[in-house]
Amino acid sequence: MRGTAQRRKLRLFLDSNVLTGGMVARWGLDRAVLALCAARICRLVLAEAVRAEVEENLLLHAAKLTSAEADELLEDYVRLIDLSRPEVVPWPDRALVLSSRRLIAHQADVPILVSATRARPDWLLTHNTKHFTPRVAARTGLRIGSPADFFQQLSQGIAERPPHGRQPI
């Protein structure tokens, strides 16, 4: 890059609802997040706990589709993983999950939260604001938000940058 340091890619830890939503939606912010990851503009941080849930959800969704549509959905998922080359976060060990139960009220989310805490992403993106609350964010030091929150913050950063080659006034 013409004498400037290359910027570090934002690392996005996606909850299963964002990843599944992006796979089944024809358009929307969930799908836009996946596009950023597939293009490797942002780095997908994928927890094995999330992957298992997504794959189960996609199979359930595929069962409601025609055979051709189901095949396309599952092939698109495989292609996303191939294109994005995610940073994979292994399942947390049982003892760590048990000791971390106080971090979040919904126990099914503990392995996901522990995985995110270990990975330290720039963002944990979720639609589950009932469980992934500001209090959970404060306890863990994670930036937790929806895809809309992410794009809002991203657009503010873009708006604050001067046009290429110009100095701010």
pLDDT score at 165: 53
Per-residue pLDDT at 72:
97
Higher pLDDT, 130 or 45: 45
pLDDT (average), residues 47-70:
97
Mean pLDDT score of the chain, rounded to an integer? 90
Q: Are 121 and 11 in contact (CB under 8 A)?
A: yes
Residues 65-108: pLDDT tens digits? 999 999 999 999 999 999 999 999 999 999 888 888 887 877 78
Mean pLDDT, residues 29-49 taken together: 97
With bands split at pLDDT 50, 70 and 90, how would you rate the model's confidence at 3?
Answer: very low
Q: How far is CA 52 from the centre of its chain?
A: 14
Whether 64 shows a pLDDT value over 90: the answer reads yes
The pLDDT assigned to 105 comes to 74
Spatial neighbors of 46 by CB under 8 A, at least 6 apart, are 13, 14, 19, 81, 86, 87, 88, 89
In the structure encoding, which two tokens stand for residue 92, read together?
A: 């947390």
**Residue found by looking up tokens 């706990």 in the block:** 49
**CATH T-level assignment (fold) for domain 11-160:** Rossmann fold (3.40.50)
In the chain, domain spans: 11-160
Question: pLDDT over 70 for what percent of the chain?
Answer: 89
Short-list 142, 150, 115, CA closest to 35:
150
What is the radius of gyration, based on Cα positions, of the chain?
17
Q: What is the pTM of this model?
A: 0.87
pLDDT at residue 107, as a whole number:
79
